[in-house]
A and B are shown apart, each in its own frame.
Chain A
Amino acid sequence: MEKREFHVTAETGIHARPATLLVQAASKFNAEVSLQYQDKSVNLKSIMGVMSLGVGQNADITITTDGDDEADAMSAVAETMKKEGLSD
Chain B
Amino acid sequence: MRAMLKGIAASDGVVCGPVYRLVDPDLSCSPRSIKNLDYELKRFHQALDAATSEVETIKTRVTKNLGADGAQVFCHQISMLKDPELVKHVEQIINEQRINAEVALSRAVAQLETVDQPLQDNPYLEERLTQLHQVTKRVTAHLLGVKLPDIALIDHPVILVAHELVSSDAFPTDMSNILGIITDLGGRVAHVSLLARAKGIPAVVGAQTATTQLRDGETVVMNGKLGNVTLGPSSAELYHAKVTMVKQRTNSAKLAEQTNHGTLTKDGVDVLLAANMETAADLPAIIQGGAEAVGLFRTEFLYMQTDSLPSEDEQFVAYRDILQKLAPRPVVMRTLDIGGDKSLPYQVAGQTQNSFLGARAIRQSLAHQQMFRSQLRALLRASAYGNLNIMFPMIATLDEFRQAKAIYNDERSQLTAANIPLGQIHVGMMIEVPAAAILADRFAQEVDFMSIGTNDLIGYTLAADRTDPDVAYLYQPYHPAVLRLIDSIIRAGHAAGIPVAMCGEMAGDPIAVPLLLGMGLDEFSMGANELGHTRELIGQLKAHDLASLVETVLNSASTSQEVITMVQAVAPNVVN
Contacts and interface: CB of A to CB of B under 8 A. Distances in A.
Interface of A: 12-13, 15-17, 19-20, 23-24, 27, 42-43, 45-49, 51-52, 54
B125 A54 contact: yes
Given A47-B79, A48-B132, A51-B125, A16 B84 contact: no
Given A16-B76, A20-B72, A47-B76, 6 more contacts: A12-B309, A16-B308, A17-B72, A23-B83, A48-B132, A49-B83
Given A16-B128, A16-B131, A16-B308, A24 B79 contact: yes
Nearest to B109: A48
A52 B83 contact: no
B124 A45 contact: no
Contacts of B75: 20, 24
19 contacts: A12-B308, A15-B127, A15-B308, A16-B72, A16-B124, A16-B128, A16-B307, A17-B76, A19-B76, A20-B75, A20-B76, A23-B79, A45-B83, A45-B85, A46-B83, A48-B83, A48-B112, A52-B125, A54-B124
A43 B76 CA distance: 16
Contacts of B116: 52
A48 B86 contact: yes
A80 B122 CA distance: 24
**SS of B interface (majority):** helix
A40 to B, nearest CB: 11
A17 B308 contact: yes
Contact of A52 (B79, B84, B115): B115
A48 B85 contact: yes
Nearest to A17: B72
B29 interface: no
Contacts of B308: 12, 15-17
Contacts of A49: 83, 85
B124 A27 contact: no
B34 interface: no
A47 B125 CA distance: 12
B85 A51 contact: no
A51 B309 CA distance: 18
A10 B284 CA distance: 37
B76 A48 contact: no
B124 A48 contact: no
B76 A45 contact: no
B226 interface: no
B161 to A, nearest CB: 31
Nearest to B85: A46
A14 to B, nearest CB: 8
Interface in B140-163: none
Contacts of B128: 16, 48, 51-52
